Amino acid sequence: MLLLLLAVTAAAAVGAGPGKAVQFLAVGDWGGVPEPPFVTPREAATAAAMGRAAAERGADFVLALGDNFYYDGVRDEWDPRFQETFERAFAAPELRALPWFVLAGNHDHHGNVSAQLAYSRHSERWRFPHYYYSLRLHVPGTNATARLLVLDTVLLCGATDDFGVGATPRGPPDAAAAEAQLSWLQRRLAAARHDRYVLVAGHYPVWSVAEHGPTQCLLRLLRPLLRRHRVTAYLCGHDHNLQFLHEDGVGYVVSGAGNFMEASQTHRAAVPPGAARFFYGAPESPGGFAHLRLDADAATITFLEANGRVLYRVALPPRDL
């Protein structure tokens, strides 16, 4: 019940912008560095570009896809990294006006994730109500709704080394808590059967052609649910590049280029034939992120480089209700 109440409260903050659409920015693996200046040039460039995108394309909120603070998360809710890597880095007026809905990555779990939840009491824009939670979004000017289900894939699958080639999660630290999260997700997906779009977000990828590749735990636990419930798209980070994959009606968005950019496609043969539609990981790139627009007709995903260049765009249809 607590999670449901949080979802209703959060939903009132989004989906009310102009343009008859819900729009948001999705960025992962953006968490700077633990020594001065606490940001990387790529994070700074990405933050500036996100501000421009919010102003020019529109945005109701930001979805932060984990690894919010490299390399070992934060110590407590007063950790200076909140100011150094988040508040001061994402300082464009257009970003300061937006709520940030946050989830945890494996590097956040190296530190104190409960402190990141508690920071929601100190920042007007940092929204991290629980390790996993639900947002109901209303498409302006229509009767259509969308659902965003935010997961903690580290609690679900276990920790891993973000920089180890092919490193896989070691299993959940608390099997009962992992089962509780999975049961919660199953209930929320069943309850979303009348929503025009359903998005699920976590840190680890289901499918990825890059260094870490597919997450076997999520292929086993999450992929069948995404297909069964006709989820529109799954959004994640973890691999430090931009990708779009499509399998059995589900879109897979990897947006992990907020702080690093890696060109490896080590696991291209590990994804289904024809699933990989877009990949960008040029080492010289200034970074990037995704812009999502949900309107009455389509869920449009645009991948943007931090220099403003449109890299790829795809439109996904509404669910067949």
Q: Which residues are annotated as a binding site for Fe cation?
A: 29, 67, 70, 106, 203, 238, 240
Give the strand order in the sheet containing 197-201: 133-138, 145-150, 197-201, 233-236, 250-255, 242-247, 276-280
Alpha-carbon distances, residue 285 vs 42, 72, 281, 312 (angstroms): 8, 25, 7, 15
User: Burial code of 33-52, b = ≥16 C-beta within 10 A, e = fewer?
Assistant: bbeeebbbebbbbbbbbbbe
DSSP, res 317: P
Count of other CB atoms within 10 angstroms of residue 71: 14
Query: How far apart (Å, rounded) are the C-alpha atoms in residues 54 and 111?
Result: 31
Query: How far apart (Å, rounded) are the C-alpha atoms in residues 99 and 87?
Result: 12
- The residues facing 254 across adjacent strands are 236, 243
Binding-site residues from annotation? 29, 67, 70, 106, 203, 238, 240
